[in-house]
Structure 1
Amino acid sequence: MAWRLIDNSRPTMVWLRNHGIRFIPMFGRQSFMVDGKHHFYGGVNIEAVGGGSGLVEAEIRGAADWCEIRYDTAATRLIQDKNKKSRAWKFRVQMALRR
């Protein structure tokens, strides 16, 4: 599973960018200046605009056009086709009672 994540990291970043997620260099936490140039360390040199919360907000904005977001909902099963492509999900929904 780790190798799948590693092997697909660049295509995933391209896909995210093509779907409106913006990225910027991590000048604050992951770089230092040497002779007027930024040097990045730790293998991480970009982040989503707004950090983790910015990434989630952008994903929610993008997904709102084509899916319904349900909070407090557990996925109970992932249904795949013969090529192991995800096609559908089953959910257990907890409905909040309104008073």
Structure 2
Amino acid sequence: MSDPSFSTNLLAYGSSKTALNAITLAFAKEFLGTSIKINAANPGYVATDLNGHSGPRRVAEAAAIAIRLATLDADGPTGGFFNDAGVKPWCAARWSET
């Protein structure tokens, strides 16, 4: 497995992320047909007090995705998970035998 997060099984973290994705989809469905857009954002590994400022990204860089999603127009996406590059699969792990 090439994903570095694959070697660690963080049950609480993974479960909370799954729940976040489920509620994002539930709210997006609830507000479908309105001007309200419900999306989740991945700001990346940000240098904060929580991680001893070990993240490579500044808070201002990480905030850009939240600002972009908060200012979507009426035709913008809803029910997605996004990072700086765009839509991101909510489960990035790739299972393989190798």
Q: TM-score if structure 2 supplies the norm length? A: 0.28
Q: Which has the higher relative contact order, 1 or 2, with Cα contacts under 8 A spaced 6 or more apart?
A: 2
More strand by share: 1
Q: Greater helix share, 1 or 2?
A: 2
TM-score of the two chains, using structure 1 as the length reference: 0.28
